[in-house]
Amino acid sequence: MAQAMAVGQAAEPHWGELVLPDRVHGSLYADPAVFQLELERIWYRTWVYVGHVSEVPQVNDFVLKSIGPQSVIMTRDRDGKVNLLLNRCAHRGLQVCVRQRGNAASFTCPFHAWTYANDGRLMGVALKDGYEGSDMAEFRLAAVPRVAIYKGFVFGSMAADGPSLEEHLGGAAETIDRLVRNSPEGEVEITAGFLQHRVKANWKFVLENETDGYHPAYVHASIFRVADSGIGALYGGKSIAVARDYGNGHTENDLRPEFRRHAQPLLWFGTDEKRLPDYAAAMRKVHGAEAAERIMIDGTPHVMIFPNLFIAEIQIFVLQPLAVDDTVQHVTALQFKGAPDLNRRLRQQTMGSVGPAGFLLADDSEMYERSQRGVAAREPEWNYLGRGLQRERYDELGFRIGHNTDEVTSRGIWRHYRTLMEQAP
Amino acid sequence: MSGAAERLPLGRAEPADDAAQLHEVSQFLYREARLQDEHQYESWEKLWEDDGIYWVPANGEDPDPDTGMSIIYDNRSRIALRVRQLLTGKRHSQEPRSRLRRLVSNIELLRLGEREIEVGANVMVFESNQRGDTIWASRNEYVLRRHDGSFRMARKKVVLVNNEKALYTLSFLI
């Protein structure tokens, strides 16, 4: 294994020797050279979630976002189009935007007053007579080459060519459909502001954990012991919920079998219709009684859209890798258009459970950091992901599934990871 | 807040000229700091009023906690839950516990009421844990109520200087 481990600056790693069907090599979490290759082959190539249209509702709105370590300005230009612009002046490289959000038709670099429209075009420069004979049309804020929106979720791809967003999402698109169906107006909004939680750990520990159904009973034992939560049972040995691999790295803990067994609307949210009468009434009015009941029983998804959008029933997490051992989780409550009573509870529950002081996430993050320190040990070299391999099966749509605690999800992530990393540079 | 009894309007920088009261308040804040540093969770919880609010905002000094995300926005029952979680011994991010020492400084009495005192202070906390050493700095504002010769907290707001940035896990009592 010694050769496989040695990921030098020049040598191309043998990915097939590092990612095996039931285990992955510890160096994939710890080697800075691997991280650099991941930036090129995953973060600057595949579709990455950047933001939501509701964060730039008005013409000229902008918000600072990111693709991995890259600062990206998400704007809505005067035509209403959403743009993703790299935050770098074409002249001397300054960041042209340092405000987190605002409304501006243009961005002026403070250094020499080069001014860009919010679609990236260079509008003007100071003392332009010095540029006679230069083709100024070549200068602009670089745009992320491909931008695509699915149900309000804005994705960017730094690759000019490649699979479409729909092809990338594949079967997992249905989980986003399922999410927005829970809004009486069929839309979610991201309006509550983000908490940013930093961990000294590799982004893939975070990625894997989002749909790891094996850990909740142990990592979250403290809060399950003192709070009356039904979450524990969903991830217990007797749960009939399933772990699913949608392909393309997208994975899910599908809790619907458990919720359907109980058949109680809004149990997914730990409540009932009596406590959210306005929401329940609005849903029945829009969908009809029967369909509304079905939607409110099934609830929202618990799905990890590769590589960085985790929809966790009541909130979203956006994963941002900064270095091989430095990752930020941006998290906020989902807000459902037309459901103020539900939204208030979504915010309250999200604030309690996630972020740096969250009842749940503080302990998940402790696991990430201990993992990072742990894989520095030389032996046993591998992280074992074989749980439930012998009992994997396929659902009616052909996706791999397993018991909710099985590592079918991690295996799915790594299968796709290997495919991406083996593609030509 | 009983308006008639106010001697200083909210937010005015001029401190109340009341050395004895300032001393009492300071001693209370030092005690709260020590209970937090030493993880005496139950004793710390007893410092709270029944309608206490423990607020650590994110994204600025004074966002609306009812519409935006806060790092902590605990009502009294959630404060109790936070303490009970720590007491389980299974709160992994606090097992082993962070080693902590904090300085409370620049204490000012911002508003004196008949029953309530508003206090401002600057705080710096040094945390040492498995990850490493972290410094936390904040502007704290308290609403204290007199009880049996001491105070209880009706409100504690902790505005971290870097609350607009990504923060490491904050699972000790700030």
B170 vs A: CB within 8 A:
yes
Residues of B in contact with A373 (CB under 8 A): 130
**Number of Cβ atoms within 10 Å of the Cβ of A230:** 13
Bond prior to A380 in cis (omega within 30° of 0): yes
Q: Is the pLDDT of residue A373 over 80?
A: yes
Q: Is the pLDDT of residue A150 over 50?
A: yes
Q: What is the pLDDT of residue A26?
A: 98
Q: Is the pLDDT of residue B117 over 70?
A: yes
Region B154-167 average pLDDT: 98
Q: Is the pLDDT of residue B14 over 70?
A: no
In the stretch 354-383 of chain A, residues with CB closer than 8 A to chain B read 355-357, 359, 362-363, 365-367, 369-370, 373
Residues of B in contact with A356 (CB under 8 A): 71, 167-171
Region A320-325 average pLDDT: 98
Region B84-106 average pLDDT: 98
**Number of Cβ atoms within 10 Å of the Cβ of A424:** 4
Q: What is the pLDDT of residue A37?
A: 97
Residues of A in contact with B170 (CB under 8 A): 356-357, 362
Read off the pTM: 0.94
Per DSSP, which regions of A255-336 are E strands? 302-305, 309-312, 315-323, 326-333, 335-336
- In angstroms, the CA A61 to CA B152 distance is 45
Residue of B nearest to A359 (CA): B82
Which of A192, A356, A366 lies nearest to residue B167, judging by beta carbons? A356
Q: At A157, phi and psi to the nearest 5?
A: -130, 130
Cβ within 8 Å, pair B91-A363: yes
Q: What is the pLDDT of residue B8?
A: 46
Residues of B in contact with A366 (CB under 8 A): 92-93, 169, 171
Region A221-231 average pLDDT: 90
Cβ within 8 Å, pair B169-A356: yes
Q: What is the pLDDT of residue A149?
A: 98
Residue of A nearest to B172 (CA): A357
Q: At A205, phi and psi to the nearest 5?
A: -65, -35
Between B19 and B155, the higher pLDDT residue: B155
Residue A228: pLDDT band (50, 70, 90) is confident
Decide: A180 and A338 in contact? Cβ < 8 Å: no
Q: What is the pLDDT of residue A3?
A: 44
- Paired tokens of B53: 């609010």
Distance from the first to the final alpha carbon of chain A: 24
Cβ within 8 Å, pair A193-B78: no
What angle is formed at CA A405 by the lines to CA A399 and CA A410, rounded to 5 degrees?
Answer: 60
- In angstroms, the CA A367 to CA A237 distance is 21
What angle is formed at CA A357 by the lines to CA A199 and CA A233, rounded to 5 degrees?
Answer: 95
Give the β-pairing of A302-305 and A250-254: antiparallel
Region A265-290 average pLDDT: 96
Region B69-87 average pLDDT: 98
Q: What is the pLDDT of residue A230?
A: 82
Residue B69: pLDDT band (50, 70, 90) is very high
Decide: A72 and A144 in contact? Cβ < 8 Å: yes
Q: Is the pLDDT of residue A2 over 90?
A: no
Q: Is the pLDDT of residue A5 over 80?
A: no
Alpha carbon of A171: minimum distance to chain B alpha carbons (Å): 31
Cβ within 8 Å, pair B90-A222: yes
CB-based contacts of A418, cutoff 8 Å, min separation 6: A15, A16, A19
B132 vs A: CB within 8 A:
yes
Residues of B in contact with A355 (CB under 8 A): 58, 69, 71
B59 vs A: CB within 8 A:
yes
- Is this prediction's ipTM beyond 0.90? yes
Q: Which amino acid is at A354?
A: V
Q: Tell which residue, A281, A272, A423, A381, has the closest CA to residue A338.
A: A281
Angle between helices A361-374 and A203-210 (to 10 degrees): 130
- Paired tokens of A219: 């990592």
Q: Is the pLDDT of residue A395 over 70?
A: yes
Decide: A286 and A295 in contact? Cβ < 8 Å: no
